[in-house]
Amino acid sequence: MSDEIWHEDRLNREADAKFLIRFLINRIEERARSGRTRSYVLNVNASWGTGKTFFLERLQRQLESEQYPVAYVNAWADDHAADPLLSVMSAIDEAIQPLIVHDEEQVERWRKVKATASIVAVSIAKGAIKHWARKAIGEGADAIGEAVFGNDQSSDGRSQPVMADSINAELNSAIDDYSNKLLSGFRRNREMIDRFRSGLKEFIEKVDTGSLHAPLFVLIDELDRCRPLYAIELLERIKHIFETDNVVFIIATDTDQLGHSVKAIYGSDFDAERYLMRFFDRSYEFEEPSVEEYVIELCARYRINEEDSYSLPRGVDVATYLAGCFHFLGLTLRDVDQCLDIIRIIETTWIWPDLKIQICLLAPLVAIYQQKRSIKGVEIIKIELKKILETRSSTGNTWLFNKEGAAPFDGSAAFQGLLVGSVKTLSASSELENNSFRSPSNNLTTSWVTRQFQDELISLHSVDGKLIREDAFSITRQYPDFIRSAGRLVGPAFDKDGAKPRN
């Protein structure tokens, strides 16, 4: 069962999940023994692309397989809701209903919990409306007074103390009345929240005696993508309303991005990190994947491994080649994000259905461009590549592939050979036949590179095996133009820190 749940787990998130389940179950038991509330709020902090959504989806299935009730909340999909409490309760309801459908007593007990939650949600929403309305009116009170009463002066310029005294008395009476209603409303809201907590606690305790186990897990995803105010309100609802026995929240966020949301509300100088830790009992950080693991994960996610789209020697897959290339060039995970985005855009806009993209050439060119180096002109490209290669060679990095059933493939040799030969303006195939393209090193890699361009010239510029153009150029000559166009499209998809592409 576990193997099925964690199929395609390329970042070893199964180990994270099983560790956290043990920690959370044992920790709330420890809390109960020490007289504390048997609840917990865990923040799973990880940047974009490191598998938060995959983790939560598989964690939900893992917990359900162990007979725990689990609610899943996509906060970003629900941030249009009037109040975050409604979104959370809706998810919990969807999780609970199928589990109690044949138990009339539990159905009725759950109906009462939902009814109380609805009252709490309405009360909170009304309070928020009054708060913001009062704030807006209060700020304009002086202007309203002047508009209605002028400057409290008669037509002859004398003040009117009687009118002022009367107004003050009425205002004081109204303020006293409003204060009493406000306090009374606050007490009612607090009573309803207490009733909701106790009802939810009792319901879960009853469930725990049957085929299901406590606690109830609530998994929240995409919080860092929500409207700033909605994200903050959701955290407040969790802290103030759901702090009851046998309820565990696991909230997956890019906490840096969530901090930006907090600062959008409270100001750029606000200590967002410290503020957020008020809502979380602990944060758990995923181990950052290696460049190789990350590339393989993204290639699988975006299907950048289709044999029909990219050309590579037999036995070498696109993900393995790209992982080796980007590791060899010393790219960071953020660099990899941007490079793969450019490659995807080029594939999307590719107009030669009978020709594959020469990823051996495209990948290093994209990396050079992403590193803010020039790709204008063959000689400049060769110089920039040489700089990178010299830097990497000093680290002792190697880039070799030797898959079972395939000849050894030297990635760095292909890398250099392509730039030395194939990026040059390729003329008629007669030059290729005269071996002018071939490297002095007669290895399998160079032979494969030569064959790729021979096949391209024949496919595009020949009839019945004969060239119809003597000045034919390879499409690879246009790769720098493709990359620059794709790069201009990439820019707006990243936030100001250069992270987290949205599409």
Joined tokens for residue 40: 């917990």
Q: In one letter, which amino acid is 210?
A: G
| CA pair distance 225, 254, nearest whole angstrom | 9
Domains parsed from the chain with CATH numbers: 2-150+195-285 (3.40.50), 291-493 (no CATH)
Tokens 């759950």 belong to which residue? Answer: 110
pLDDT of residue 412: 47
Alpha helices in 209-290 (DSSP H): 228-241, 255-266, 272-276
pLDDT of residue 475: 81
Cis? peptide before 215, omega within 30° of 0: yes
pLDDT of residue 17: 96
- Residue 5 to residues 8, 59, 265, 270, 301: CA-CA distances in angstroms? 9, 9, 39, 41, 17
Whether the CB-CB separation of 438 and 450 falls below 8 Å is answered with yes
pLDDT tens sequence for the chain (503 residues)? 678 999 889 888 999 999 999 999 999 999 999 999 999 999 999 887 788 999 999 999 999 999 999 999 999 988 887 788 888 999 999 999 988 888 888 899 899 998 888 888 777 765 544 443 444 444 444 443 444 444 555 555 555 555 556 656 665 666 556 556 655 655 677 788 888 889 899 888 887 776 788 999 999 999 988 888 899 999 999 988 898 999 999 999 988 888 988 998 899 899 998 999 999 999 999 988 888 888 888 888 888 876 678 988 777 788 888 888 888 778 888 899 899 999 999 999 999 888 889 887 888 889 888 887 766 655 566 566 666 556 554 444 444 433 333 444 444 444 444 444 444 433 323 333 333 333 444 455 566 767 777 777 777 777 776 666 655 667 877 888 899 899 988 554 444 333 444 44
Measured distance between the N- and C-terminal CA atoms of the chain, rounded to whole angstroms: 33
- Residue 201 to residues 40, 99, 109, 195, 205: CA-CA distances in angstroms? 14, 17, 11, 10, 6
Strand order in the sheet with 70-74: 70-74, 216-221, 247-253, 39-45, 282-285
| CA pair distance 459, 141, nearest whole angstrom | 79
pLDDT of residue 372: 79
pTM (global) more than 0.85: no
DSSP 284-348: EEPPPPPHHHHHHHHHHHHTTT-TTTEE--TT--HHHHHHHHHHHTT--HHHHHHHHHHHHHHHH
DSSP run (H or E) holding 219: strand 216-221
pLDDT of residue 353: 84
| CA pair distance 365, 380, nearest whole angstrom | 11
- Partners of residue 400 on adjacent β-strands: 410
Sequence-separated (6 or more) residues with CB below 8 Å from residue 433: none
- Partners of residue 217 on adjacent β-strands: 70, 248
With H, G, I as helix, E, B as strand and everything else as coil, classify residue 400.
strand
Return the DSSP state at 503.
-
| CA pair distance 339, 382, nearest whole angstrom | 19
Return the DSSP state at 153.
B
With H, G, I as helix, E, B as strand and everything else as coil, classify residue 103.
coil
With H, G, I as helix, E, B as strand and everything else as coil, classify residue 113.
helix
pLDDT of residue 177: 63
| CA pair distance 158, 335, nearest whole angstrom | 74
Antiparallel, parallel or unpaired: β 409-410 and 400-401: antiparallel
pLDDT of residue 173: 63
- Partners of residue 253 on adjacent β-strands: 45
pLDDT of residue 168: 61
- Residue 108 to residues 73, 101, 103, 194: CA-CA distances in angstroms? 24, 10, 9, 19
Whether the CB-CB separation of 371 and 338 falls below 8 Å is answered with no
Joined tokens for residue 276: 């957020």
